[in-house]
Structure 1
Amino acid sequence: MSLHARNLALLEEHAIAYREVSHEAVLDYPTAHVVRQRFGLRGVESKSLFLRLKDGTYAMLVTLEGARADWSQLKALLGTRPSVASDEELVRLTGCVPQCACPLGHAEDIVLLVDEAIFRHDYLIYSPGPPERTLEVATADLARLLPQLPNRVLHYRSG
C-alpha cells in the first residue's frame, strides 16, 4: 500500500474528516503558499524532518514551517543523538519524496516527535506522500488520532 493510501486509510479508519487537493508538485514553501491560497486551505503548513538516531533507529519530527530543530531537546527526548537521515533513507524507509516528508503512515518502529505548537492552530496542512497532493486535517482530530497510532509518539516543544 502506498504512503498516500496508508494516510487516507488511517484517517478514514479513525473517522477523521479531511480535505484533499491535487496540484502541481510542492517541494518548497513558496509553492505551498501559492497552493494554499489557490485552494483556500485554512491550515498551517507542516514541516517533517526524518531523523537517524545514533543507535540505528529512526524518528520523524513533525513541526511547523519555519521552525528550527532543537537538537538538545531531541537528544533528551530520544535518549540518543539524532542527525538528519539521507534522502535515500527517507525514500527507502518511508516512501516519501525528498523535500516532501509526510508526518503520518509510517512503520511502527519510526518514532514520531510531534510539536505541541501544531495544536495552537485549527488545521494542519501536509502532503500524504505525493508532492502533488495536500491534506488539510483539523488539529483537534490529529490530537485524537496520535494515541491510536502504532508508533511511539513523543511531545516536542519548538521555541
Structure 2
Amino acid sequence: MLLSNELVEASSPNKLEQIYQINIDLFTQSGVHYQEWQHEPILDFATDQRISDELGITAAPTKSLFMKLKGGGHCLLLTHRDNRLDSKLVKSLVGKRVSICSNEEMIAAIGCEPGAVCPFGLPEHITLIIDPVLYGFDEIMYTPGKPTSTFSFAGAELNSLLALLPNPQIHLPSSV
C-alpha cells in the first residue's frame, strides 16, 4: 500500500507535524525499526555534528537537496552529507537542468525549513533521486520534517521505505 502525500499541502500551518506523522506511518507500515532523538533545532551541518556527538548518534548523516528543474518541476537528491551534487549526472537522469531552490521557493513547495529538508512525505509529483551509497551504511539518519527530531534506520532498509512512497524514483548509478 502506497502512502498518499497529497494530504500535505505547503500552505498548511501544521505542515511539519504532518510530514513528521507521515514518517512515523511510513516506519509503521514498512515494519522498519527506527530510532528517534529529540534535541534543539538542527538547521546546519555544524549543529548536526555537535548534536550527534552529544547524543552518541553514530548513524551516517544524510543530505536532502531540494532542486528545481529547468522549465518547471522539482526533485530531491538523497545522499550522504559529504557528497556533492553532480548536476550534469542528475540532468542526464531527469532530462532537465537542475539547480538548488531558493529557501523561499523550497518552503513554498514542501514546507520544510532550510537545513531540515525531509526526504519522505513530499508531494507525489516530486521525483526522488537516491544515491545508492546510502545502502552501504549500517545506519543512516535524517530529519523527519521537524528540525528538533532525528530518525535513524538501517541503510539496507531504505528500499522498504521507498517502496511505500508514491513519488517517482531514480537511483544514481553506483560508484565504481
Band the TM-score falls in, shorter-chain normalisation: over 0.9
CA distance in 1, matches of 2:61, 2:123: 23
Aligned length: 159
2:37 maps to 1:21:
yes
1:153 paired residue number: 169
Unmatched 5+ residue regions in structure 1? none
2:13 paired residue number: none
Following TM superposition, by how much is the alpha carbon of 1:55 offset from its aligned partner in structure 2, in angstroms?
2.7
Following TM superposition, by how much is the alpha carbon of 1:41 offset from its aligned partner in structure 2, in angstroms?
1.7
CA distance in 2, matches of 1:158, 1:61: 14
Which of 121, 131, 134 is residue 118 of structure 1 equivalent to? Answer: 134
TM-score under structure 1 normalisation?
Answer: 0.93
Q: Pairwise mapping of residues 94-133 of structure 1 onto structure 2 (< 5 A)?
A: 94-133=110-149
CA contact (8 A) 1:54 1:81 kept: yes
CA distance in 1, matches of 2:153, 2:123: 21
Matched residue SS, 1:38: helix
2:84 paired residue number: 68
Which letter maps to 2:27?
Answer: L
Following TM superposition, by how much is the alpha carbon of 1:157 offset from its aligned partner in structure 2, in angstroms?
4.4
Matched residue SS, 1:148: coil
Following TM superposition, by how much is the alpha carbon of 1:92 offset from its aligned partner in structure 2, in angstroms?
1.8
- Cα pair distance change 1:158/1:34, threshold 3 Å: farther
Is the strand fraction higher in 1 or 2? 1
Which of 52, 61, 77 is residue 36 of structure 1 equivalent to? Answer: 52
TM-score under structure 2 normalisation?
Answer: 0.85
Superposed structure 1 runs of 4+ greater than 6 Å apart: none
Q: Percent identity?
A: 35
Deviations 1:53-83 (A, max 9, x none): 0131110011111211001100000011111
Following TM superposition, by how much is the alpha carbon of 1:38 offset from its aligned partner in structure 2, in angstroms?
2.1
Which letter maps to 1:81?
Answer: R
What is the aligned-residue RMSD (CA, Å)? 1.5
1:140 paired residue number: 156
CA distance in 2, matches of 1:49, 1:157: 17
CA distance in 1, matches of 2:172, 2:122: 18
Which letter maps to 2:61?
Answer: E
- Cα pair distance change 1:158/1:101, threshold 3 Å: farther
Following TM superposition, by how much is the alpha carbon of 1:93 offset from its aligned partner in structure 2, in angstroms?
1.8
CA contact (8 A) 1:3 1:95 kept: no
CA distance in 1, matches of 2:106, 2:174: 23
Which letter maps to 1:106?
Answer: L
Which letter maps to 2:40?
Answer: E
Which letter maps to 2:44?
Answer: D
Deviations 1:27-63 (A, max 9, x none): 1222111221222222100111101001311100111
Matched residue SS, 1:50: strand
